[in-house]
Each structure stands twice: as C-alpha cells, then as structure tokens.
Amino acid sequence: MRRASLGVLVALAVLAVVAATASDPKAATKPTSLPNPVQGQLLSGGTATLTGSAPASSVQTGLPDELDPATLSDADAANGGGDENTPGTNRSLPGAVRGNGLPIKPSARAKSNPGLGANWQGLNFHDQRFANNGNQFSVEPPDQGLCTGNGFVVEAVNDVVQVYDTGGNALLNGGHAVDLNTFYGYPAAIDRTGGTGDGPEITDPSCIYDASVNRFFMVVLTLDRVGKTATIAQTDHLDIAVSDTGDPTGTWSIYKIPVQDDGTDGTPDHGCVQIINHQLVHGACLGDYPHIGSDANGIYLTTNEFSLQPGAPGFFGSQIYAISKQALANGTATSFLHFDTLGAGPDGAGFTVWPAQSAGTNYASDNNGTEYFLSSRAVFTEDGTSQSILQWSLTNTASLNTATPNLNGTITEIPVQEYAVPGLARQPAGNHPLGDCIADTTVHPTCNTTVAGIATHDNTTFQNHSLNANDSRMQQVMYANGKLWGALDTEVNVAGNNRAGIAYYVVNPNSGSVVVQGQLGASNTDYTYPAIGVLPSGRGVMAFTLTGDNDYPSAAYTGIDAQVGAGAVHVAQAGVGAWDGFTQYVRFGAGRPRWGDYGAAGVMGNSVWIASEDVEQTCDYTTYFADPTCGGTRGALSNWSTHISQVTP
C-alpha cells in the first residue's frame, strides 16, 4: 500500500515540492521523463446511432430525485476552495486557494463584430432536462463539447447531443436533442415511470473531428450503478464513440476503457480508497474530467484521478491514454497505452494535462510523430499562484500503428507571467424566479416543494448569485502552425479591482519557450472558461463567457495570433438575463455555484467555430409559477444556455 499512501498524501506532498522549486524560472527546464506506460485492453461497446425519444410532452416539476442522489449533480471546479473530497465529478485540489492577480491594463471592448458569421443558440437546460421523454436529471454546468468538420457542427453537453449544419439547423431527432444515455446504449439516466431503474451516470462530454481519417470522436465518463439502484458502483469507464464515416448523423462504434484502476477489469491498482465504517480501505478510482486530442497517429485521452467514493481522500495524478487513430477509424482497435503521471514532474503529479487537437492535418511530425499536452501548476501552491506551466510530450507516436507501440514521454517546465486561481465571477441583479419560488411564504407558499422540489424557504446564494470561474486549470489546447496554443482562468487586477480573467500562451514546443503570452481582464467584468481554436495558418479565435457588473452571462470571443497575441473583446451573443441555476442556492447542497466547466472550439475551412455558456432567457416569478419552463426556454431548476458561433479571423 505504499502507492496508496503516496496518492492519498500527494496533495500535501506537492506543496513541499513547490515550496522548494517554484522560484521565478528564466528559461525552460531540462525535460524529465514520464514513467513507462502499461498496455491495456480496449473493450468493444457495440454500435450506436444518434436517435432518441421525443422530449417530455408536459411540464415536470417538484419530482423526487430531480438531482442525481449519487453525485449531487455534476461538480464544477472550485474557486479558491478546492477539495478532492467534493461529491461528483470535475474535482479540484486542496491547494486551489484564491491567488492574488497580476496587475494588467484593461482589455479593449470592440464595438462591432466584422468576423462573426452564422451563430445560434445551442443546447440549453430545457433541452437537457426534458430529453428522452423527461427521463433525465437536472444537471449543471453543461460542460460543452464541440467538434466541427465535413459540413457538420456537433455539440454535446451534460447530458445531451445535437448535430447541426453550418446554418444552425438541428439535424437529429426531429430537431430535438438526443440524450447521451440512449446514444451510448444505456437505460435512461432515471426511470420516472418505473420498471427499468436508473441507468449509468454519464458526464463530461468532449469531442473532436479529425480530418485525416474523416471521423468524429466523442468521449464521456460513465459511472456504473449498483443494479437498478441510484447507488454508484465501484466501476467507471471512458466511453469513446467513433463515427463510422464523416457523417455524424450515421452510425458510430463504441469502445470502453475501464478507469477504476483498482486491479479489476485489467486495470492497474493505483491504491485509491473508500471509507467503510469510518476506516480507509482499498477502493476504486475516478477517471475525472476526460478530454481528447489527436496527432497524425493517435487519439489521446486524459483524466484527473481521484478516489471514486465521494468524501474519500486522495488525488492520484492525471492519467494519459494513447490509442491508434487509424485502428479506431477502421474498427480494429483492441489496445491502448496508459501513462500514469503520479510521481512525475515538479509537482509530483500532473493535473488536467490537456491533450492538443490539431488544426486540419497540421500535425507535429518530429521524432516519428509527437503529441503535445499543456498543464498548469497554481493549484499545487500554498498561495494559489504560479510562474510556470508544463509541456508534456509523447514521441514516436507512429509506433501506435504497429504491434509493439513504444511511446516516450517527457515533461518540460516553461516560465510564464504569474497567474493565479481566480475568485468567483459576478453578474448584475436580475430575475431569479427559482429563488423567489423557494422563498415565497405568502403568495404561493408551497412553490418550494411543488415546483422547486426542496423542503425549505431558505434561498441563500453563494456571494449574491456569483458564478464559478474555474481553478486555473489548463483549458483547450491546440497545435497549429508549429506552435502550441492554450489558455486558463486567472485572477487579474485591473485598476485596483480583482476580477476573473484569462491568461493565454502561444508556445514553441521545440524550444519549450513562450512565443507570446498575455492576460485579459477588465475592472468591472469577468472573463471565464477560455477555449482557443486556431487555423493552420496561425490565425485563431479564443471563446469565453463574459459576465460582470453590467453584463449578464454572454458568449464572447477575441482574435489571437502569434505576433501580437489577443485583440479586442467581441460579444457574439449578449446575455438576456441573470443565471438562475439550482447550484447557486446553498440549500440544494451542491457546495458552490457551478458554471462552465469548459467551453470548446473547432476549425472548419477558413473559420473557427466556438461555443460558450451564456443565458438567453429571463422571466419573472409570476410567469415562472404559471409555467416553470417560461414558454419552453428553461426548466424549474435552471436557465443556462450555450451559444455556437462561426468566426473568420
């Protein structure tokens, strides 16, 4: 159990490592090596199509088990209060304390959007909650996946998916979203009519389109149940869907990678724990926050590994999985390589090691094929700040197409401007009919139970309806024009005001040095959850949510290149009203206001397609009480939305 001890205590041990090594580095450190991988068996999950049932035909409110009792819904990354013991997924680390922001000049706000093309409201909470005849939980945040190619735009969120053409026309299920449980071949998330029991918990969708094989790839984390009960089992797996052609409305093939890493189902034993009778005993791991990238030869998946049981301690490092891309496209994939980062790098583990996706067929060919990743370090420090990021590299990736794949991994520390774990983002006052419903003791005193489904009139919120702004983990990474592009959330100080902002980096991966970097921020505005998409030419777009003292949560973007960095801030879709989601109300038990948890960007032709969370509806309490969907624009427990935009940089 020496490995278990290291895993359980790694969150404390890494603080000592950083204290000794986190001085301001002036040059990239000499690369260090990753431990050798282990080979695992890729399991077949059959075939699938993106078809589903119609949405619920009547409004459903005040129902039992509106939130998944096994996970307390999906969990966003904490702002300055990280904890690996958090229920649910998308967990942070105890070191993720709020840091002091770097003083910066305010970012300019553009008055027009000359590069903005087609754009439309994407999937929203109403789509999610009422899909599959209403046999869904209420879930937030959406966790956006977006992949674009071959004339299609695919969007996946917790826990539904839709395919659009480039004009925004929905192509699936008569225009209705398809729930992810149905797509991946599982029973409904919850059976509200009785007879089948609850299906697995699916979360964290992410997808890419790869031009060289003309395929779409989508990955989700799936947590199994104990029989037909709501209790989470000690098994979880990454489910990978691969389109059989370049048309995502056709058939897909499903593969599975077990990620409980407790020695069962062919997994290594990483020593995760669970609590039984107040004692720590051996348990399963959680493959949290999966993301996907590709190079010429492979598909790469990464996770953050924690003990699976909510409340059980232990962070066990990021895990990296490499699979032959051609074998997946051909339907012949049978194995994968698994790298464990625990014990590697300057912090003793990687955290959110995000794999790069490539622009078109613009792959890194050095060293017989190379896949790059980026990660950040502030969550490991005592003060929530860092002055370096990490570049992770897997070389000899062409060997994935052989019977004896032999990949080599290295880690390079790259000095950057100081960045910090941000605090919460803000929004203006507005309509909060869910909060009014909970608090009402006179006009409709049973609204809290019959509509909101909660037995209290306490509508206390987290910091006056604030939104999460992440924990400075790295967000979407791209390889384009010979460079690596990435961004993260950071605290910034603008004119003496601390706000949530964005730090971005363009990196030369061969020298391990920054080509250009910068930070975006404003004194009365917060920028959160960046996602960068870059054309092969090196012209890019960075998407994010814009919210603040005078702006409701909006879908925004800026141009970015390797010469001057980011440009003026544009708003693709201004927020219509205030976010009014259940996780901002303390008594729902979510622990923090869950917004995000990531946006996405993809490349198609000479355009970058972007997706961010926003709010595109508002209604007052009178309207909400008469119809909690407010005309089919929200659900009883939330009103988040997403927005998809085409931008030609």
pLDDT at 504 over 80: yes
98: nearest Cα among 561, 447, 457, 499: 499
Task: Using pLDDT thresholds of 50, 70 and 90, give the confidence band for residue 196.
Answer: low
410: nearest Cα among 449, 437, 370, 442: 370
Residue 58 confidence (pLDDT): 66
Q: Which residue has the tokens 């009139």?
A: 457
Q: Which residue has the tokens 């040059």?
A: 27
Distance CA 237, CA 270 (A): 15
Task: Using pLDDT thresholds of 50, 70 and 90, give the confidence band for residue 114.
Answer: confident
Task: Calculate mean pLDDT across residues 581-596.
Answer: 92
Residue 24 exposed, middle or buried by CB count within 10 Å (0-12, 13-18, 19+) = exposed
3-state SS assignment for residue 213: coil
Distance CA 257, CA 269 (A): 15
Task: Using pLDDT thresholds of 50, 70 and 90, give the confidence band for residue 354.
Answer: very high
Mean predicted lDDT score pLDDT of the chain: 91
Task: Using pLDDT thresholds of 50, 70 and 90, give the confidence band for residue 618.
Answer: very high
- Say if CB 440 and CB 457 are below 8 A apart: yes
CA 345-347-353 angle, to 5 degrees, is 65
Residue 245 exposed, middle or buried by CB count within 10 Å (0-12, 13-18, 19+) = middle
Task: Using pLDDT thresholds of 50, 70 and 90, give the confidence band for residue 227.
Answer: confident
Residue 90 confidence (pLDDT): 75
Positive or negative, the CA dihedral 301, 612, 91, 424 is positive
The predicted-structure confidence for 93-109, as pLDDT tens digits, reads as follows 765 678 788 888 888 88
Residue 422 confidence (pLDDT): 96
Distance CA 171, CA 152 (A): 9
Distance CA 259, CA 220 (A): 12
The predicted-structure confidence for 123-182, as pLDDT tens digits, reads as follows 999 999 999 999 999 999 999 999 999 999 999 999 999 999 999 999 999 999 999 999
Token code pair at residue 356: 């790069």
- Say if CB 249 and CB 163 are below 8 A apart: yes
pLDDT at 21 over 70: no
521: nearest Cα among 627, 396, 423: 423
Residue ranges per domain, the chain? Answer: 2-647
Which residues are 179's β-sheet partners?
Answer: 160
pLDDT at 195 over 70: no
Task: Using pLDDT thresholds of 50, 70 and 90, give the confidence band for residue 424.
Answer: very high
Token code pair at residue 179: 């729930």
Residue 77 confidence (pLDDT): 47
Q: How many percent of the chain have pLDDT more than 90?
A: 82
519: nearest Cα among 492, 498, 497: 492
Residues 6+ away with beta carbon under 8 Å from 534: 359, 478, 480, 481, 485, 540, 541, 560, 603, 608
Token code pair at residue 85: 């013991």
Residues 6+ away with beta carbon under 8 Å from 194: none
Token code pair at residue 269: 């034993």
pLDDT at 552 over 50: yes
Distance CA 240, CA 331 (A): 12
Task: Using pLDDT thresholds of 50, 70 and 90, give the confidence band for residue 76.
Answer: very low
Residues 6+ away with beta carbon under 8 Å from 294: 208, 210, 217, 300, 325, 355, 357, 358, 371
- Say if CB 211 and CB 151 are below 8 A apart: no
621 φ/ψ sector (left φ>0, alpha ψ -120 to 50, else beta) = alpha
3-state SS assignment for residue 482: coil
- Say if CB 528 and CB 595 are below 8 A apart: yes
Q: Report how far apart the first and last C-alpha atoms of the chain are (Å, whole number).
A: 53
- Residue 111 — φ and ψ, nearest 5°? -95, -10
| Winning range, highest mean pLDDT, from 19-33, 78-92, 400-414 | 400-414
Residue 61 confidence (pLDDT): 64
Task: Calculate mean pLDDT across residues 320-332.
Answer: 98
Task: Using pLDDT thresholds of 50, 70 and 90, give the confidence band for residue 81.
Answer: very low
- Over the range 418-427, which residues count as b (16 or more CB within 10 Å of their CB) and which as e? bbbbbbbbbb
Residue 95 confidence (pLDDT): 56
pLDDT at 10 over 80: no
Task: Using pLDDT thresholds of 50, 70 and 90, give the confidence band for residue 585.
Answer: very high
The predicted-structure confidence for 441-452, as pLDDT tens digits, reads as follows 999 999 999 999
Task: Calculate mean pLDDT across residues 36-64.
Answer: 85
Distance between alpha carbon 534 and the CA centroid of its chain, in Å? 19
Task: Using pLDDT thresholds of 50, 70 and 90, give the confidence band for residue 1.
Answer: very low
